[in-house]
Amino acid sequence: MYLIREMQISDIPEVLEIEEDSFSSPWTEAAFVNELLNPCAYYYVWEENKRVIGYAGFWKILEDINITNIAFKSEQRGKGKGSALLLFVMDAARKLGAEAVTLEVRESNAAAIAVYHKNGFYSAGIRKDYYTKPTENALIMWAKVKKEESHEDGTKSN
C-alpha cells in the first residue's frame, strides 16, 4: 500500500538520501526547506510502509508547470512508480489550471526520457552544458495538460 502526500520538513532527511542516490549534484537540506516555503512550489512524497521511497516537485509559473525533481530509491526504479508519480503531477497540474508541463533531463538518462515519452512528453530543445558532474546537455521536454471533459451523464474523463 502506498500514499502520495505533500512533503513535510520532517521528510527532508529521507528525501536527501534519495537525492544523493539519484543525482550527481544533489540539492541540499536548505534548498528543500526553501522549496517547501516557496508559495509557487509543490512537493510530494511517495510513502510505503511509513517510509519515503520517492518524491516529485514542481513550480507553477503562470499557466505552466516546471517539474524540478522526480526520483525514487534505486531499488524502487523500473517498477512503474515513476510513471505513476508523473501522472499524479500531471493531474495536479490540471487541477491547478496549467496548460503545459515542462522539465529538463540529462541527454544520457534514457530510462527517464522513455518514461516521459510514454506519458506524452515531446523533445523541444537542448540546454547546452546545463548539468555538471559530468558536464552534459539537458533535453527540454514539454507535454500538454489534458483537460477534464464533462459528459452528458455527469461523468468526467481526461
Question: Could you give the CA distance from residue 158 to residue 72 in angstroms, rounded to a whole number?
Answer: 27
Question: Could you give the CA distance from residue 54 to residue 44 in angstroms, rounded to a whole number?
Answer: 9
Check 35, 116, 149, 152 and give the catalytic one.
116
Check 104, 122, 131, 149 and give the catalytic one.
104
Q: Note the pLDDT of residue 6.
A: 98
Question: Could you give the CA distance from residue 3 to residue 81 in angstroms, rounded to a whole number?
Answer: 12
Q: Note the pLDDT of residue 155.
A: 54
pTM score of the predicted model: 0.89
- Average confidence (pLDDT) over 108-126: 95
Q: Per DSSP, what are the bridge partners of residue 65?
A: 60, 101
Range of the domain at 31: 2-144
Per-residue cell: 91: 493531474
Examine the pLDDT at 8 and tell me if it is beyond 50: yes
Pick from 6, 22, 32: nearest CA to 106? 22
pLDDT tens digit sequence for 27-38: 999 999 999 999
Q: Note the pLDDT of residue 150.
A: 45
The answer to whether 42 is a known catalytic residue is: no
- Average confidence (pLDDT) over 13-18: 98
- Average confidence (pLDDT) over 99-120: 95
Examine the pLDDT at 157 and tell me if it is beyond 90: no
How many domains is the chain built from?
Answer: 1
The answer to whether 35 is a known catalytic residue is: no
pLDDT tens digit sequence for 48-96: 999 999 999 999 999 999 999 999 999 999 999 999 999 999 999 999 9
Question: Could you give the CA distance from residue 114 to residue 137 in angstroms, rounded to a whole number?
Answer: 17
pLDDT tens digit sequence for 132-152: 999 999 999 999 998 865 446
CATH (domain of 124): 3.40.630.30
Structural domain includes residue 154: no
Pick from 60, 25, 55: nearest CA to 138? 25
